[in-house]
C-alpha cells in the first residue's frame, strides 16, 4: 500500500497498518515530537487514488485535466458515478476538513446536534477571525484571548471531545496554516472559508463550503458537488520586474468577472507556471474565489517540491515525484474555456473600488480615479492577509521599503503588516524584514485576518468620510474592511501597496514615477526582489497547536443558556407537505448582494455561535429597490418602515412566512452559512433571484430553504414589494422540473412566473426534512 503521511506520528500509525515505510531522519523526528505544529492529521493512499482514477479513465476513454484527476479519484463509487461536467452531482470523499473560528462555531454546534461521537476524517479548527486589529500584534492578541475566551474554550473543548485539532489564537490564518502543514499534491480538502482554494498552490483541490457541508464530511457521509466544468488558464512567458503572481489573478478577475468562474475549477497550465513560486501560486488560487470558481489548482512542479522540503515534508515530495503523472493534466485534455496570459507582457494591476473584478493597470488607475472622482490620496496601505503574506511577499515589500529608508523617506500613508502565520512572523522577524517594514512606518499586526475581514478598529476617518485605502487582500466589497461605505478599497500586490503607501498616492506608478529623497534628490524605485524561501529553515515560532486526545468521549462541552455568544441549535421545522402560499416579499434587493450584505462580519463576528443574536444583522447591508435605502423596508402588517431583521421577526411572531427577491450572483463572497441560517431562522422560505453564487445556493439548500431562479431574468421586474407570492409544484418537486410562482398584486391583478431550481434527489430530501442535518438524523 503506497501511503504517505504528513508527519511522524501519522507515519507510525500508517506503518502499523502495513503502509509503505518511509525514511524519517532523526533530526526531523525530534523536531516533530518537540513541536506539535508538525502533528499530522491525515495521510493519503496514492495507490488507491490511482486505482479509482484508472477506473474512471477506462470509462471515459479520454485525456483528463488535473482537476478531473484529483476530483474523480475521490469518488465514492468510481464504477457507477455519472460524470458530466456542469451537470451531474458527484459523491465524493474528501481527505480532511478545516474550519476557521468564526464558521467553526456553527459547524461544531451542528456536529454536536448530529449526535455522532467523533469526526470520521482528520479535521482542524483555526483561530484567526476573532482578533481585532487595534494597536499591534501582542496587545491585540492578548485582548482577543480575553474578549473571546468563552468561544475559544468552546472550540478547544469541542475539538478535544470530537477529535478535532485546535490551532490557538495567534497561530495564523487558516489558509497559510493549511499550506504549511496540510495541503499537498493530490489531496482533496474542504474548508469553511471561501478562500480555502489557497491550497491549490500545492497541487491540491481545496474547496470552500458552508458548515453543514463540513458536518457531512466529518460524519463520513459522501459529500456532493456538482461536477465542475474546467476553465484552463495557459501561462506563457515569465514574471519579472514589478509584475507579481497577484497580477495574474487580478487580470483573470478582470476577464471573467465575479461570476465568470461559477461552477468551474480554474486550472493553470503552460510554460509560464514554472516562473511562479509555490506561495505565488497559492496567492492566485486564493483570490480565485472572487471570480466564483469552485476552486483553482496548479500542476505539481519543482517549486512545490522545494516548498514541501522547506516545510519539513520532503517524504511527501519524494512520493509525489513517484506519482507525478497523476498530478499533472493529461496531454490533449480539453477545457471548457481557455484563457491565455503572456507573463512577459503582463503589467502590474490594481482592482477596485467596491468590487474585485474592476481591473486597472497600475499605470492607468490614477487617471481613471480622477475621471470618476475617487480620492487619490492613499490614507492607509495594508499588506498581508491569507492572500499575500508569504516569506516572498514580505521580502519583496521590505525591498521596496528599504529603498525608501535609504533615501530618508517613510510612508506618507498609514501602513500595516499582517503576517499570515506564526511561522512567517517569527521568520521575517529573525531575518530583519519586520524591522525594515516597521522602520518605514509600518505596524505589525497579529497573525490573523484583521482588516481583511473587517476586524479593524479604524480611527483615522469618520464613517461616511470618502477616502482611499490600498491593500494586498482579496476582497474589497463596500464597507468590508472598516464598515465605512465611503471607503474606496483597492486590491493589488504587497509591493505596489508598499510603493503607494510611501508615495501616498493612488496615481503613483513605480515603473515610471519619481520620488523625492529627504535631500531633495529625485529617484525611482527599482523593481522589488525577495527570496522565494528563507535561506535558513523557517522559524516555527511559538507552539500553538493542540492535538485532540486519543479518547475524548468523557470530556464535557458546556454552552451556557445565558450566553450571548453561543447557543445550542434547535431543529428547523419540516416542510408542511403542500405549496407555500401567500408569502410576503420581505425585501426586493437591488444590485450586488454579497454574503457581507446578507450577514455582515466585523463587529458581528462575536455572535457567529449564537444564531438568534447574529440574525439581527440579516440583510442590513442590502439595498431595498423600493426606496434605494439600506436596512429600511416596509412592514406590510403595520404600514411602517423598519430594519430588515425587525420586520422579519414581526412577521415570524405573527406566523407570516416570506421570501427575498434578488439580482444576479446573489450571495457571492464568503462561505458563511449564517447568510442562509438567518433567513431560515427568521421565517424565510425561499430566495428568488436571477442567479446564485455556488456556495450560498448550497448553503440555502442545506438549511431547508428554496433557492430559486427566474426562468426569465426580466421577471424580476414583475415582482412588487407588496405582492403575495404562492410557490406551486412542491408536492411533485423533482430534479429538473420547474416550479411556478403566482404573484397576487395589491391592485388585484396577477402574474405567473416559472422558477427554476437545481435540487437533486438527495437535496429534495433535505428540503422535505427541514434541513440536511434533520435528514442526517432521520437516517441514523
Active site residues: 128-129, 193, 475, 670, 672
Does a cis peptide bond (omega within 30 degrees of 0) precede residue 353? yes
- Specify whether the backbone of 332 is left (phi greater than 0), alpha (psi in -120 to 50) or beta: left
State the number of CA atoms in the 13 A half-sphere of 2 facing the CB: 14
* Dist CA 738 CA 755 (whole Å): 6
* Dist CA 481 CA 132 (whole Å): 11
Listed residue (219, 127, 177, 96) closest to 609, CA to CA: 127
* Dist CA 775 CA 771 (whole Å): 6
- Specify whether the backbone of 451 is left (phi greater than 0), alpha (psi in -120 to 50) or beta: alpha
Q: What are phi and psi of 683, to 5 degrees?
A: 100, 5
- Which residue carries 455519472 as its cell? 82
Contact 245, 239 (CB under 8 A): yes
If one counts every other C-beta atom within 10 angstroms of the C-beta of residue 349, the result is 26
Q: What are phi and psi of 351, to 5 degrees?
A: -115, 140
Contact 314, 4 (CB under 8 A): no
Beta bridge partners of 266: 231, 296
Sort strands 629-630 and 487-491 into parallel, antiparallel or unpaired: unpaired
* Dist CA 419 CA 383 (whole Å): 9
* Dist CA 223 CA 227 (whole Å): 12
* Dist CA 540 CA 181 (whole Å): 11
Q: What are phi and psi of 537, to 5 degrees?
A: -60, 160
Contact 272, 236 (CB under 8 A): yes
Contacts of 151 (CB under 8 A, 6+ apart): 101, 105, 130, 565, 566, 606, 609
Contacts of 410 (CB under 8 A, 6+ apart): 404, 439, 440, 441, 502
Taken in order 533, 534, 535, 537, the sign of the CA dihedral is: negative
- Specify whether the backbone of 770 is left (phi greater than 0), alpha (psi in -120 to 50) or beta: left
* Dist CA 158 CA 142 (whole Å): 22
* Dist CA 266 CA 260 (whole Å): 10
Secondary structure class of 133 (helix, strand, coil): strand
Q: Say what the alpha-carbon torsion angle 616, 617, 622, 625 is, to the nearest 10 degrees.
A: 10
* Dist CA 531 CA 510 (whole Å): 21
Listed residue (620, 621, 628, 618) closest to 652, CA to CA: 618
Contact 510, 480 (CB under 8 A): no
* Dist CA 641 CA 623 (whole Å): 14
Listed residue (314, 397, 228) closest to 8, CA to CA: 314
Output the DSSP codes for 715-739: GGGG--TT-EEEEE-GGG--TTPPE
* Dist CA 568 CA 574 (whole Å): 19
Alpha-carbon distances, residue 434 vs 242, 339, 441, 443, 524 (angstroms)? 21, 38, 11, 9, 23
- Which residue carries 464504477 as its cell? 79
What are the grid coordinates assigned to 737, written together?
422540473
Amino acid at each position: 500500500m503506497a501511503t504517505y503521511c504528513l508527519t511522524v506520528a501519522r507515519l507510525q500509525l500508517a506503518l502499523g497498518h502495513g503502509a509503505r515505510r518511509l525514511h524519517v531522519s532523526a533530526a526531523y523526528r525530534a523536531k516533530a515530537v518537540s513541536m506539535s505544529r508538525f502533528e499530522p492529521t491525515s495521510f493519503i493512499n496514492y495507490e488507491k487514488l490511482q486505482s479509482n482514477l484508472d477506473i474512471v479513465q477506462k470509462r471515459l476513454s479520454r485525456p483528463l485535466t488535473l482537476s478531473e484527476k484529483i476530483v474523480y479519484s475521490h469518488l465514492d463509487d468510481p464504477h457507477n458515478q455519472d460524470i458530466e461536467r456542469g451537470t451531474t452531482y458527484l459523491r465524493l470523499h474528501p481527505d480532511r476538513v478545516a474550519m476557521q473560528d468564526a464558521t467553526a462555531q456553527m459547524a461544531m454546534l451542528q456536529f454536536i446536534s448530529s449526535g455522532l461521537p467523533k469526526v470520521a476524517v482528520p479535521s482542524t479548527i483555526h483561530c484567526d477571525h476573532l482578533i481585532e486589529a487595534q494597536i499591534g500584534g501582542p496587545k491585540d492578541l492578548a485582548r482577543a484571548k480575553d474578549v473571546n475566551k468563552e468561544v475559544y474554550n468552546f472550540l478547544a473543548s469541542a475539538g478535544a471531545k470530537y477529535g478535532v485539532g485546535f490551532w490557538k489564537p495567534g497561530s495564523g490564518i487558516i489558509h497559510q496554516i493549511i499550506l504549511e502543514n496540510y495541503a499537498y499534491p493530490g489531496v482533496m480538502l474542504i474548508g469553511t472559508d471561501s478562500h480555502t482554494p489557497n491550497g491549490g498552490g500545492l497541487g491540491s483541490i481545496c474547496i470552500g463550503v458552508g458548515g453543514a457541508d463540513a458536518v457531512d464530511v466529518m460524519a463520513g457521509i459522501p459529500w456532493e458537488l456538482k461536477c465542475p466544468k474546467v476553465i484552463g488558464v495557459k501561462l506563457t512567458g515569465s514574471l519579472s520586474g514589478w509584475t507579481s503572481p497577484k497580477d495574474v489573478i487580478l487580470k483573470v478577475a478582470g476577464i471573467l468577472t465575479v461570476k465568470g468562474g461559477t461552477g468551474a475549477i480554474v486550472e493553470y497550465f503552460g510554460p509560464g507556471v514554472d516562473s511562479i513560486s509555490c506561495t505565488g501560486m497559492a496567492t492566485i488560487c486564493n483570490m480565485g474565489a472572487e471570480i466564483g470558481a469552485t476552486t483553482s489548482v496548479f500542476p505539481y512542479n519543482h517549486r512545490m517540491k522545494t516548498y514541501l522540503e522547506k516545510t519539513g515534508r520532503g517524504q511527501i515530495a519524494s512520493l509525489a515525484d513517484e506519482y507525478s503523472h497523476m498530478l499533472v493534466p493529461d496531454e490533449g485534455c480539453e477545457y471548457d474555456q481557455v484563457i491565455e496570459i503572456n507573463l512577459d507582457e503582463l503589467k502590474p494591476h490594481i482592482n477596485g473600488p467596491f468590487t474585485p473584478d474592476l481591473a486597472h493597470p497600475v499605470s492607468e488607475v490614477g487617471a481613471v480615479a480622477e475621471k470618476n472622482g475617487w480620492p487619490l490620496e492613499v490614507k492607509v496601505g495594508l499588506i498581508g492577509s491569507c492572500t499575500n503574506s508569504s516569506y516572498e511577499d514580505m521580502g519583496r515589500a521590505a525591498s521596496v521599503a528599504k529603498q525608501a529608508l535609504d533615501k530618508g523617506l517613510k510612508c506618507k500613508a498609514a501602513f500595516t503588516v499582517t503576517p499570515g502565520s506564526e511561522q512567517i512572523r517569527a521568520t521575517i522577524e529573525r531575518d530583519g524584514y519586520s524591522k525594515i517594514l516597521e522602520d518605514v512606518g509600518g505596524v505589525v499586526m497579529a497573525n490573523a485576518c484583521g482588516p481583511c475581514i473587517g476586524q479593524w478598529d479604524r480611527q483615522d476617518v469618520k464613517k461616511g468620510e470618502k477616502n482611499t485605502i490600498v491593500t494586498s487582500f482579496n476582497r474589497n466589497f463596500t464597507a468590508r474592511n472598516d464598515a465605512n461605505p465611503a471607503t474606496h478599497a483597492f486590491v493589488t500586490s504587497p509591493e505596489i501597496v508598499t510603493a503607494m503607501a510611501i508615495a501616498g498616492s493612488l496615481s503613483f506608478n513605480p515603473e515610471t514615477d519619481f520620488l523625492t529623497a529627504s535631500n531633495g534628490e529625485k529617484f525611482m524605485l527599482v523593481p522589488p526582489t525577495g527570496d522565494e524561501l528563507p535561506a535558513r529553515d523557517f522559524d516555527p515560532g511559538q507552539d500553538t497547536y493542540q492535538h485532540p486526545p486519543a479518547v475524548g468521549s468523557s470530556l464535557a462541552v458546556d454552552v451556557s443558556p445565558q450566553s450571548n455568544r453561543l447557543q445550542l441549535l434547535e431543529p428547523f421545522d419540516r416542510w408542511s407537505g403542500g405549496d407555500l402560499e401567500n408569502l410576503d416579499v420581505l425585501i426586493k434587493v437591488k444590485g450586488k448582494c454579497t454574503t457581507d450584505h446578507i450577514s455582515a462580519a466585523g463587529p458581528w463576528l462575536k455572535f457567529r455561535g449564537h444564531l438568534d443574536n447574529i440574525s439581527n444583522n440579516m440583510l442590513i447591508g442590502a439595498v431595498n429597490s423600493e426606496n434605494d435605502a439600506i436596512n429600511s423596508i416596509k412592514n406590510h402588517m403595520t404600514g411602517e418602515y423598519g430594519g430588515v431583521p425587525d420586520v422579519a421577526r414581526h412577521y415570524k411572531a405573527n406566523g407570516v412566512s416570506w421570501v427575498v427577491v434578488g439580482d444576479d450572483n446573489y450571495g457571492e463572497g464568503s462561505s458563511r452559512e449564517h447568510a442562509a441560517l438567518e433567513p431560515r431562522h427568521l421565517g424565510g422560505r425561499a430566495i428568488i433571484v436571477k442567479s446564485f453564487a455556488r456556495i450560498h445556493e448550497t448553503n440555502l439548500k442545506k438549511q431547508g430553504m428554496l433557492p430559486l431562479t427566474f426562468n426569465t431574468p426580466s421577471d424580476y421586474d414583475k415582482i412588487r414589494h407588496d405582492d403575495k407570492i404562492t410557490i406551486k409544484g412542491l408536492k411533485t418537486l423533482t430534479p429538473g422540473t420547474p416550479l411556478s410562482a403566482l404573484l397576487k398584486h395589491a391592485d388585484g391583478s396577477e402574474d405567473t412566473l416559472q422558477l427554476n431550481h437545481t435540487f437533486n434527489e438527495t437535496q429534495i430530501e433535505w428540503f422535505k426534512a427541514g434541513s440536511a442535518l434533520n435528514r442526517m438524523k432521520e437516517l441514523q
